[in-house]
């Protein structure tokens, strides 16, 4: 499978040397072997299935800086302000969901490895690219926000690597170190409930070499193709709204080609 060369233009965007319609551009992502991705950093992006070359990659992005970006392919994070403005509504919908005792919809398939120890609850707007049509019955404002991201062609959907859900990590639970299967997305954590007085050693996350804490109402944007792990050693819940967006440097035609590729893989029975 061929992959295209790319370079950075004056605004920092990736641009292809190939016409978008050329075979090389349409097949610009390739299954990786570990030796093909070289870096001097201790931790590097390590997707286990699929690698799209030429993208800017770093473990964590400054959400405020992203929101201020006004040009190039990264000028697409204005929705962060709307997310923060809707904090009380989104948190209130999560609490109503819990009060209604809606069960967790997190399931581990027969051939899937369970990453967590302890209790980890999901209440999903989307799993594996498929939207849960019942979610907006309980959480209309949250659903409207996420559908707005989809309308703006930022929310990743229709491929099996895309998720959006309320993630509740119960006290004493942890998620083992792992990497995403692909580098096509950025993952967002929007913290709704954070254990009181907890330090990073008590409730936190490691992404690459960085240890991070959640702050209620402050979005965390990261590249989950870097190794990461999560822990909650407190007796309280940690709750975030988790959702996946397309990497901003993947163009709309490239996203369409990726969706078609995964659809074909499903039709052939290569993916469940």
Report, as an integer, the average pLDDT of 16-40.
44
- In the prediction, which pLDDT does 18 show? 44
With a cut of 80, say whether residue 139 has pLDDT above it: yes
Single pTM value for the model: 0.83
- In the prediction, which pLDDT does 27 show? 46
- In the prediction, which pLDDT does 271 show? 76
40 pLDDT tier (thresholds 50, 70, 90) = very low
Report, as an integer, the average pLDDT of 163-177.
97
172 pLDDT tier (thresholds 50, 70, 90) = very high
Phi, psi of 20 (to 5 degrees): -60, -30
How does DSSP classify residue 70? -
- In the prediction, which pLDDT does 14 show? 57
3-state SS, 238-263, equals EEEEEEEEECCCCCHHHHHHHHHHHH
- In the prediction, which pLDDT does 224 show? 96
Report, as an integer, the average pLDDT of 16-39.
44
Q: Mean pLDDT lowest for which of 17-26, 40-49, 78-87, 99-108?
A: 17-26
- 135 is written with which tokens? 């979610």
Q: Mean pLDDT lowest for which of 124-128, 151-155, 217-221, 262-266?
A: 262-266
Is residue 142 classed as helix, strand or coil in its secondary structure? helix
- In the prediction, which pLDDT does 208 show? 94
In contact, 176 and 229? CB cutoff 8 Å: yes
109 pLDDT tier (thresholds 50, 70, 90) = low
Report, as an integer, the average pLDDT of 67-80.
96
Query: In this predicted model, which residue has the larger pLDDT, 143 or 6?
Result: 143
- Find all residues with CB under 8 Å of 177, minimum gap 6, and list them: 206, 227, 228, 229
Full set of structural domains in the chain with CATH: 64-246 (2.60.120.330)
Range 24-44 burial, b when 16+ CB lie within 10 A, else e: ebbebbeebeeeeeeeeeebb
**pLDDT tens digits, residue range 81-105?**
999 999 999 999 999 999 999 999 9
- In the prediction, which pLDDT does 31 show? 40
**pLDDT tens digits, residue range 204-231?**
999 999 999 999 999 999 999 999 999 9
């Amino acid at each position: 499978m061929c992959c295209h060369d790319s370079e950075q233009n004056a605004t920092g965007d990736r641009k292809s040397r190939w016409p978008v319609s050329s075979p090389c551009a349409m097949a610009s992502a390739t299954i990786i072997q570990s030796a093909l991705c070289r870096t001097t950093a201790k931790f590097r992006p390590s997707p286990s299935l699929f690698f799209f070359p030429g993208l800017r990659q770093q473990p964590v992005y400054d959400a405020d800086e992203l929101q201020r970006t006004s040009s190039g392919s990264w000028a697409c994070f204005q929705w962060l302000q709307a997310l923060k403005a809707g904090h009380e509504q989104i948190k209130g919908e999560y609490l109503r969901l819990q009060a209604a005792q809606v069960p967790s919809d997190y399931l581990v398939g027969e051939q899937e490895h369970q990453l967590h120890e302890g209790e980890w609850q999901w209440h999903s707007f989307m799993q594996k690219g498929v939207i849960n049509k019942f979610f907006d019955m309980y959480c209309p404002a949250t659903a409207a926000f996420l559908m707005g991201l989809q309308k703006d062609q930022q929310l990743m959907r229709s491929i099996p690597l895309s998720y959006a859900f309320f993630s509740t990590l119960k006290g004493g639970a942890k998620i083992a170190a792992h990497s995403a299967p692909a580098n096509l997305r950025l993952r967002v954590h929007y913290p709704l409930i954070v254990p009181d007085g907890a330090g990073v050693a008590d409730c936190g996350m490691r992404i690459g070499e960085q240890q991070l804490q959640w702050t209620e109402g402050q979005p965390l944007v990261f590249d989950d193709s870097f190794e990461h792990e999560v822990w909650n050693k407190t007796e309280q819940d940690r709750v975030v709204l988790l959702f996946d967006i397309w990497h901003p440097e993947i163009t709309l035609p490239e996203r369409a080609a990726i969706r078609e590729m995964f659809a074909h893989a499903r039709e052939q029975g290569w993916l469940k």
